[in-house]
């Protein structure tokens, strides 16, 4: 398995900590890669066939909880598992996104907010695919064309995009436009062949960066972590002090078992008024560990080592997934809808656990 071969420096609290290259590996962690792959493939297969997810021209919805995390994680899992080619679910998802991009005039959602959201997610899925080949495809460039067409250029949200608001935490609520803009920055930053620096994109990227920087202080921790991820991809986002502060805040919320609870990342409250789930979960822990690794932390950094150990120890042995809970209402964890957050948790756990083997694109 591959390792990094450079000296890594990470801001922890207000201190720069350098980590030796040979320490930067997660190979020693024990977890069932095949079971994780099986879970993710089965869930993506279910999502593609689920009636409420169906869209025009034999396409399906690109969801924040199942489809997009799957697109980011499955290739990373394939790379460390020895698979030589994408599985059918991967190919079907990519073909679906390409089809919707090519047929955009016919399949674009009617609601402005939904169109804005989809242009971001389409771009992210395709850019992550192209980053692995270090070549920008025509479909990805077209997806970015749609993205820039939807970017707002005036008002308080200039530089951002219309974003779906369904009163659902953590993605489709008041902070959703900021989260979406941060994902757009990840997509633009990971696009190969210097796409972010093309002359036509300079002003567009500058507006995006200004929006994310100007609105950063008022965000909850979930959005700040997403912005921290984006800053690792797109230079100019967040200054040194802001990066140090969000890492310090994040580490301060790490629980005694080494994990994080998603409910601690924002002012979330279940609709029925019942107590929030405060135990560590796979989504918060996986996302946090992955983002910290993306910003330069080595797996042997003590706090991160504990987080990765939590992930290693908390994979469900019955189906290969990681636990997570809805921030909106109590759901039956065995139901398909009840597993949406578990889908995201499993994908981000995989991203974190595989990041020591390769740099995830």
Question: Which of 158-172, 196-210, 220-234, 261-275 is predicted with the least confidence, judged by mean pLDDT?
Answer: 261-275
Residues 231 and 120 in one domain: yes
Residues 181 and 266 in one domain: no
Residues 202 and 135 in one domain: yes
Is 94 among the domain residues? Answer: no
Q: What are the distances in angstroms from CA 182 to CA 139, 187, 206, 275? A: 21, 9, 13, 30
Residues 218 and 291 in one domain: no
Residues 222 and 111 in one domain: yes
Q: Is the pLDDT of residue 163 over 60?
A: yes
Q: CA quadruple 322, 302, 237, 188: dihedral positive or negative?
A: negative
Cα–Cα distance measured from residue 344 to residue 291, given in angstroms and rounded to the nearest whole number: 14
Q: Pick from 200, 235, 270: which residue ends a domain?
A: 235
- Tell me which residue has tokens 């991203």: 351
Helices (H), the chain: 33-49, 67-81, 88-102, 104-107, 112-133, 138-150, 176-190, 202-214, 221-233, 240-252, 282-294, 302-313, 340-354
What does the pLDDT read at residue 28?
65
Is 283 among the domain residues? Answer: yes
What does the pLDDT read at residue 298?
85
- Mean pLDDT calculated for residue range 324-335: 91
Residues 223 and 261 in one domain: no
Cβ-Cβ contacts under 8 Å for 10 (sequence gap 6 or more):
16, 17, 19, 247, 292, 295, 296, 297, 298, 301
Return the closest-CA partner of residue 41 out of 90, 75, 76: 90
Task: Give the model confidence (pLDDT) of 279-322 as tens digits.
Answer: 999 999 999 999 999 998 888 899 999 999 999 999 999 999 99
Task: Give the model confidence (pLDDT) of 216-264 as tens digits.
Answer: 999 999 999 999 999 999 988 999 999 999 999 999 999 999 999 999 9
Domain extent for 222: 103-235
Q: Is the pLDDT of residue 7 over 90?
A: no
Tokens encoding 158: 């200039």
Q: What are the distances in angstroms from CA 6 to CA 20, 28, 244, 260, 266? A: 8, 20, 21, 29, 35
Q: Are 196 and 189 in contact (CB under 8 A)?
A: yes
Q: Is the pLDDT of residue 6 over 70?
A: no
Is 246 among the domain residues? Answer: no
What does the pLDDT read at residue 157?
96
Residues 223 and 275 in one domain: no
Is 213 among the domain residues? Answer: yes
Question: Which of 22-31, 206-215, 306-315, 335-344 is predicted with the least confidence, judged by mean pLDDT?
Answer: 22-31
Task: Give the model confidence (pLDDT) of 72-111 as tens digits.
Answer: 999 998 878 777 789 999 999 999 999 999 999 999 999 9
Q: Are 218 and 191 in contact (CB under 8 A)?
A: no
Is 348 among the domain residues? Answer: yes
Is 244 among the domain residues? Answer: no
Average pLDDT taken over every residue of the chain: 90
Long-range contacts of range 277-280, CB-CB < 8 Å, 24 or more positions apart?
277/325, 279/255, 280/255, 280/310, 280/314
- Mean pLDDT calculated for residue range 184-193: 98
Residues 45 and 159 in one domain: no
What does the pLDDT read at residue 179?
98
What does the pLDDT read at residue 115?
97
What does the pLDDT read at residue 273?
79
Is 89 among the domain residues? Answer: no
Give the SS3 label for residue 253: coil
Cα–Cα distance measured from residue 345 to residue 314, given in angstroms and rounded to the nearest whole number: 11
pLDDT exceeding 70 applies to what percent of the chain?
A: 91
Residues 269 and 345 in one domain: yes
What does the pLDDT read at residue 14?
30
Q: Are 62 and 122 in contact (CB under 8 A)?
A: yes
- Mean pLDDT calculated for residue range 328-338: 90
Residues 291 and 224 in one domain: no
What does the pLDDT read at residue 5?
24
Is 192 among the domain residues? Answer: yes
Cα–Cα distance measured from residue 176 to residue 278, given in angstroms and rounded to the nearest whole number: 22
What does the pLDDT read at residue 3?
29
Cα–Cα distance measured from residue 299 to residue 12, given in angstroms and rounded to the nearest whole number: 13
Q: Is the pLDDT of residue 34 over 60?
A: yes
pTM: 0.91
The total domain count for the chain is: 2
Q: Pick from 235, 265, 280: which residue ends a domain?
A: 235
Residues 199 and 308 in one domain: no
Residues 223 and 276 in one domain: no
């Amino acid at each position: 398995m591959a390792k990094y071969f450079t000296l890594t420096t990470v801001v922890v609290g207000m201190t720069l900590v350098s980590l030796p290259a040979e320490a930067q590996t997660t190979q020693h962690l024990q977890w069932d890669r095949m079971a994780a792959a099986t879970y993710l493939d089965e869930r993506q297969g279910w999502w593609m066939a689920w009636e409420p997810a169906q869209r025009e021209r034999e396409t399906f919805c690109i969801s924040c909880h199942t489809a997009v995390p799957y697109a980011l994680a499955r290739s990373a899992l394939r790379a460390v598992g020895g698979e030589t080619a994408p599985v059918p679910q991967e190919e079907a998802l990519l073909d679906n996104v390409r089809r919707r991009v090519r047929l955009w005039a016919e399949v674009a959602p009617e609601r402005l907010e939904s169109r804005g959201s989809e242009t971001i997610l389409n771009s992210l899925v395709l850019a992550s695919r192209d980053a692995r080949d270090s070549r920008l495809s025509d479909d990805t460039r077209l997806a970015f064309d749609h993205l820039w067409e939807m970017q707002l250029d005036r008002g308080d949200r200039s530089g951002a995009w219309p974003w779906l608001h369904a009163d659902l935490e953590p993605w489709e609520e008041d902070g959703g436009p900021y989260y979406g803009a941060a994902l757009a920055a990840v997509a633009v930053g990971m696009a190969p062949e210097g796409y972010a620096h093309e002359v036509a994109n300079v002003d567009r990227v500058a507006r995006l960066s200004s929006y994310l920087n100007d609105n950063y202080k008022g965000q909850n921790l979930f959005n700040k972590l997403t912005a921290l991820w984006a800053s690792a991809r797109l230079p100019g986002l967040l200054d040194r002090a802001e990066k140090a502060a969000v890492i310090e805040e994040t580490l301060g919320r790490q629980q005694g078992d080494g994990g994080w609870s998603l409910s601690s990342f924002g002012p979330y409250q279940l609709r029925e008024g019942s107590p929030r789930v405060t135990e560590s979960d796979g989504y918060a822990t996986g996302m946090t560990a992955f983002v910290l690794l993306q910003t330069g932390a080595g797996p042997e950094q003590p706090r991160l080592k504990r987080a990765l150990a939590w992930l290693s120890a908390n994979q469900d042995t019955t189906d290969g997934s990681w636990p997570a809970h809805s921030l909106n209402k109590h759901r039956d964890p065995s139901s398909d809808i009840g597993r949406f957050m578990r889908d995201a948790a499993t994908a981000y756990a995989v991203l974190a656990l595989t990041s020591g083997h390769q740099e995830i694109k």
